[in-house]
Amino acid sequence: MKFWFWFLWSIDAVIAVVALYFFFSLAAGGRVGLFNILPWLAILAALAAVVGGSILLRSAGQHAVAIVLLLLLAIPGAMFALFFLLLLILHPNFH
């Protein structure tokens, strides 16, 4: 169970780092302003809640709840990565 927690947590951490990269790169270019700062803050808060909340739940002894929380982000993230991997391997023609 310890392996699955850290495996899922690392997937979620990679997703959070990618989101932070996009946020800071867009903010440096001036594309994050008053119009879209609230959705960005909500996304970053949700990512922090998943990554940090799972650590807090695990330390409180709620291992199963922590893994379920991690699965909420890890499953869509893994499916997204699998989709792009298939696009790279299969080279589909969309014409």
pLDDT digits over 60-71, tens only?
Answer: 999 999 999 999
**CB under 8 Å to 54, separation ≥6 — which residues?**
5, 9, 12, 66, 67, 69, 70
Per-residue pLDDT, 90:
96
Per-residue pLDDT, 1:
80
